Structure 1
């Protein structure tokens, strides 16, 4: 057993060394479990994420004053806010104690935080389960392991290396098509950053380029359930269950599209990722249920590009704000992999997942009851001063950079190496051509407490 591991019968020795599972230390007085309402609302509610300045101040307050605090907001289940890097790692490495999905039976856990009305709406669609998708996010080992293994080899660095030249061609095409030598007055997000990662993942996936706008629209709806700029016309706005309605509607549209893709790849296999997933079989030789293929496809079609574009935009914003950093990386291209990692730490586009305790235990001196929920705040963890020196400073040469933008443990993002490859290649192609970047207008952030980043970044980009 890991020295800090918890169980139903034992917990960390309160007199032992400090660590993720330990009482609040003398330098951090115990203020009680309940988080002040203004802090809790800023972190939990989607509208609290409209302005990331106050949001990161709330994260800082939690880390310094109540790193494992309980948020109690009307309309939401009570949830423990986990703001420290070490605590998130401890929870993530123990899926038997802190479940992600909890099965597909009634009463199962929702790993994506939504309000009680949204959970009730989801249960009404599924017969009582909150497992609305058969995808890795909702699964625990050993089921999680079996489904992950379907495409795990494809996402390994050794396999991805053979795609680097193709990805570089796509990066050059994106620059050549969407930018021009000289002055470019553009919204870097909407006019550039969104398209390249989408085109890369769809090309590798095997989705026709003509269908990419449809995938883009569905992705924006999928992750923008609480954002007025991404609301569907067939969802009644401002109702408590509106976000869950949009989520389920987008999933249904994805299912309709991907059903045709599954059938095509099962009858006419090709050399692409879609064929690997659609053609996967169980130990008995039968195909996995189509719903698992749909789950894979949705995960790839959404997180496979949205998080990468958010990281790219956040990285370019910092280079615009700090021309000295831009010049340093341009003079030292070997810093680009570090720039990618720092961009991931800085943007942390996946803001949270939730977990549920499967038994009574003790975590950071708090008594945890079976069934308690935890909101893992990855953005906060990636600004933790226990792990990162001067975390509020964007520093491409940061070493080491132990960010957990991709999560940790069994649920660590399977696409992380592809995302890093895409970002590195694009920055290797784009940065040498940049004379200057100037932010020319007001930035805008996606209003979401789940996955998101910049929605709008007006810039003047001067290219050689």
Structure 2
């Protein structure tokens, strides 16, 4: 049997895929992903600072791999693309694990289901629906803030990053006065690659800086959440922090490390992705006056707008998986232990699924996007995220008379999770 020759992604495109700056600019990256979908939907990327990995760009392949949770594991190797030196440092500091924290996204069965059950009830559509009134109050306060700042503001920094954080703090039971500290931690967690949002010097030539920054931040998270967890164990309240603090796994109390990991993923991942989708959606409306007018005239279109805003922004750019066995895919042989990048950014722009994918369109059904995952790893917080975005735009569009971009919007430089980091606006509100 003849073994097919390994198809390598052109070196120039491989460099783009692994460059944080490419995700900030996006134009060249999206063009490169489009070429790959058409010409080489599965290829091996080999660059100097990273272990080799397969790049998966088509929606059908990404969707299939995500659902094969026994064949492609989350936890065997790093869950996001990290430089080889960062991976080596992480393993050295953890005693061999590729993960500095251990959350649902780093777990496979049987552990994944055990830990998912801890909070699953809190994120069902029925339970999330009970939060609508309190979330609407937070949304109105955020829009009042925007109105006071008018006629201009930086929407990301002044509005979008604060709103979902307030929602998550309320659900967790974190005191309101701790908002500045929580904002700092959640913003920095996924921003170490961006000189404006993270730390260290751009182009420092130190690929392991990412790991050092992450461990420093996790230490700060631990310093905050361990005392909170101990208070909730001593005196439980009706909040998610109490549920996690008092959870049991295999008949034993959840340990500090995994409890803190749970707090981190709830607070940080739910905050960053939602704020990015809100900012990305409003950015798109500023560039599409017809869509803005249609939404103003018919609030019933907002749920469809929410799906398109999530697809359009795709704040989670990729996830990584590790093959547990040899498998044939796209005329290529994936070998057990191989690392695969599932490009969600590419899958959500796939022409085979989305007509005119590079246009923001209210008339499309964007619910087939892959941002929230599929199968057993479907995002727990997806219903909460959709509710937050819908409520925010219902409240905003009822008061916003006009809006335009008043400067140069910029995206964050991040391979893994990112979105708009500045969105200067000029607007009129009533």
Deviation, 1:453, is 0.3
In 2, the alpha carbon distance for the partners of 1:374 and 1:278 equals 34
Are 1:197 and 2:171 matched, yes or no? no
Identify the residue that residue 90 of structure 1 maps to in structure 2.
64
Cα deviation 1:311-332 (Å, max 9, x = unaligned): 0000001101111100001111
Residues 220, 160 of structure 1: alpha-carbon distance in 2 compared, 3 angstrom cutoff: same
In 2, the alpha carbon distance for the partners of 1:69 and 1:226 equals 25
Identify the residue that residue 112 of structure 1 maps to in structure 2.
80
* Partner secondary structure for residue 62 of structure 2: helix
* Partner secondary structure for residue 240 of structure 1: coil
Cα deviation 1:147-166 (Å, max 9, x = unaligned): 01100011001011111001
Identify the residue that residue 51 of structure 2 maps to in structure 1.
77
In 2, the alpha carbon distance for the partners of 1:426 and 1:64 equals 37
Identify the residue that residue 264 of structure 1 maps to in structure 2.
231
Name whichever of 307-316 and 90-99 sits farther off. Answer: 90-99
Residues 162, 401 of structure 1: alpha-carbon distance in 2 compared, 3 angstrom cutoff: closer
In 1, the alpha carbon distance for the partners of 2:75 and 2:180 equals 31
* Partner secondary structure for residue 149 of structure 1: helix
Name whichever of 433-442 and 401-410 sits farther off. Answer: 401-410
* Partner secondary structure for residue 41 of structure 1: helix
Name stretches of at least 5 consecutive residues in structure 1 with no aligned partner.
1-29, 103-108
Identify the residue that residue 73 of structure 2 maps to in structure 1.
99
Deviation, 1:233, is 6.3
Identify the residue that residue 352 of structure 1 maps to in structure 2.
318
Name stretches of at least 5 consecutive residues in structure 2 with no aligned partner.
none
Identify the residue that residue 15 of structure 1 maps to in structure 2.
none
In 1, the alpha carbon distance for the partners of 2:320 and 2:337 equals 12
Cα deviation 1:392-447 (Å, max 9, x = unaligned): 12112313631111122222211000000000001000012111111111111100
Deviation, 1:142, is 1.2
Question: Which residue of 13, 16, 20 corresponds with 1:39?
Answer: 13
Question: Which residue of 110, 114, 130 corresponds with 2:98?
Answer: 130
Deviation, 1:178, is 3.4
Identify the residue that residue 293 of structure 2 maps to in structure 1.
327
In 2, the alpha carbon distance for the partners of 1:167 and 1:48 equals 35
Identify the residue that residue 267 of structure 2 maps to in structure 1.
301
Question: Which residue of 142, 155, 179 corresponds with 2:123?
Answer: 155
Identify the residue that residue 366 of structure 1 maps to in structure 2.
332
Are 1:188 and 2:155 matched, yes or no? yes
Name whichever of 299-308 and 172-181 sits farther off. Answer: 172-181
* Partner secondary structure for residue 226 of structure 1: coil
CA contact (8 A) 1:31 1:65 kept: no
Deviation, 1:248, is 1.2
Residues 234, 260 of structure 1: alpha-carbon distance in 2 compared, 3 angstrom cutoff: farther
CA contact (8 A) 2:308 2:366 kept: no
In 1, the alpha carbon distance for the partners of 2:39 and 2:224 equals 48
In 2, the alpha carbon distance for the partners of 1:234 and 1:453 equals 21
Name whichever of 435-444 and 47-56 sits farther off. Answer: 47-56
Identify the residue that residue 198 of structure 2 maps to in structure 1.
231
Alignment of 1:269-284 (within 5 A): 269-284=236-251
Are 1:389 and 2:355 matched, yes or no? yes
CA contact (8 A) 1:361 1:368 kept: yes
Identify the residue that residue 383 of structure 2 maps to in structure 1.
417
Identify the residue that residue 402 of structure 2 maps to in structure 1.
436
Alignment of 1:19-38 (within 5 A): 33-38=7-12
Identify the residue that residue 29 of structure 2 maps to in structure 1.
55
* Partner secondary structure for residue 397 of structure 1: coil
In 2, the alpha carbon distance for the partners of 1:78 and 1:235 equals 24
In 1, the alpha carbon distance for the partners of 2:203 and 2:363 equals 47
* Partner secondary structure for residue 228 of structure 1: coil
TM-score by length of 1: 0.89
In 2, the alpha carbon distance for the partners of 1:101 and 1:31 equals 28
Deviation, 1:275, is 0.7
Residues 322, 208 of structure 1: alpha-carbon distance in 2 compared, 3 angstrom cutoff: same
CA contact (8 A) 1:199 1:212 kept: yes
Give the total of aligned pairs.
Answer: 427
Cα deviation 1:87-145 (Å, max 9, x = unaligned): 1111111121111102xxxxxx1111100010011012111221221211110011001
In 1, the alpha carbon distance for the partners of 2:202 and 2:264 equals 20
TM-score by length of 2: 0.96
CA contact (8 A) 1:388 1:401 kept: no
In 1, the alpha carbon distance for the partners of 2:250 and 2:37 equals 46
In 2, the alpha carbon distance for the partners of 1:300 and 1:236 equals 31
In 2, the alpha carbon distance for the partners of 1:235 and 1:199 equals 31
* Partner secondary structure for residue 213 of structure 2: helix
